[in-house]
Amino acid sequence: MRSRTRRPLLGADGRLFIVAADHPARGALGAGLRPAAMASRIGLLERLAVALDRPGVDGVLGTPDIIEDLAVLGALEGKVVLGSMNRGGLQGAAFELDDRFTAYDVPTMVRDGVDLAKLLIRVDLDDLGTASTLESAAAAVTAAAAARLPILLEPFMSGRQSGRLCNDLSTDAVIRSVAIASGLGASSAYTWLKLPVVEHMERVAEATTMPTLLLGGDPTTAPDETFASWQHALTLPGMRGLVVGRTLLYPADDDVVGAVDTAAGLVHARVTAQHGVHHH
């Protein structure tokens, strides 16, 4: 990790396209209609290596186990590395909202040359577990800012429906989550946001002055619709790029290269290597 070639966080166009693979550490192995898509670690690493090799892919988001495997494979040379911090809120657990910080911490990320920290903040006003998560998240933001380590906050307003935790993807809920996340920590100087693409993204973009990356989520809509919604959202002020995992690593047709190249073209609005087509 420490001997790998690093690069500036942002390239010339000020945009970032990051492939996400921090789901397994939360016990979330499903993608689309495949409940165990990410169960094979070898398969996941192969797909990540393919994705990281494509032009326009700036880096990867993961927990230490995945990041270190990719480093050993030499797949992180000249890439941006995002370290995932809190994965203790296991998918489906009774304690899912008491989302403990069980992966990367700030001193290790600074030591190992991780470029950007990432944490998840699910706020359920009916669950007492939210309080300690908010406090821990604030401490992580404070520590990252003190270390001058950029930190990406992924907030949701969440609630239980028939026992299952669901994120509220209404525009108003996303805006409220942005307000809550933005105020965490003793400084916001290094804070970035990671937000879902929802209706009326213009209002979401107006809710923050922080640089924002858009998340892909679990693929449910048709790929064309998904790509179109990302394309529109990326035109809004403050929107700096995409962090996408399962939608690109496990597309319905299993064409990882095609999915990755399409998304890279949207973020960097330039040649998609696959077809040599210019997107303006």
Q: What is the pLDDT of residues 143-163, one digit of tens each?
A: 999 999 999 999 999 999 998
Name which residue leads in pLDDT, 228 or 144: 144
Q: Which pLDDT score, from 0 to 100, does residue 72 have?
A: 97
Q: How many CB atoms lie within 10 A of CB 104?
A: 25
Q: Which pLDDT score, from 0 to 100, does residue 225 have?
A: 82
232-237 average pLDDT score? 93
Helix 64-72, helix 41-52: angle, nearest 10: 60
Q: How confident is the model at residue 208 (pLDDT cuts 50, 70, 90)?
A: very high
Residue 275: pLDDT above 80?
A: no
Residue 192: pLDDT above 70?
A: yes
Q: How confident is the model at residue 270 (pLDDT cuts 50, 70, 90)?
A: low
Q: Which pLDDT score, from 0 to 100, does residue 32 have?
A: 84
Residue 140: pLDDT above 50?
A: yes
Residue 262: pLDDT above 60?
A: yes
Residue 254: pLDDT above 60?
A: yes
Q: Do the Cβ atoms of 234 and 242 come closer than 8 Å?
A: yes
Distance CA 95, CA 154 (A): 19
Q: Which pLDDT score, from 0 to 100, does residue 272 have?
A: 42
DSSP 108-162: HHHHHT--EEEEEEEE-TT-THHHHHHHHHHHHHHHHHHTT--EEEEEEEEEEET
Dihedral of CA 257/262/267/269: which sign? positive
Q: How confident is the model at residue 222 (pLDDT cuts 50, 70, 90)?
A: confident
109-135 average pLDDT score? 97
Q: How confident is the model at residue 278 (pLDDT cuts 50, 70, 90)?
A: very low
Residue 31: pLDDT above 50?
A: yes
Q: Do the Cβ atoms of 90 and 99 come closer than 8 Å?
A: no
Within 13 A of 196's CA, how many CA atoms are on the CB side?
22
Percent pLDDT > 70 in the chain is 94
The 10 Å CB-count burial string (b at 16+, else e) for 239-267 is: bbbbbbbbbbbbbeeeebebbbbbbbbbb
* CA neighbor of 91 nearest in space, from 229, 246, 241: 246
Structure tokens at 15: 């945009």
Residue 101: pLDDT above 50?
A: yes
222-250 average pLDDT score? 90
Distance CA 157, CA 168 (A): 6
Q: How confident is the model at residue 271 (pLDDT cuts 50, 70, 90)?
A: very low
Average pLDDT, the chain: 93
Residue 210 to residues 78, 170, 231: CA-CA distances in angstroms?
25, 20, 19
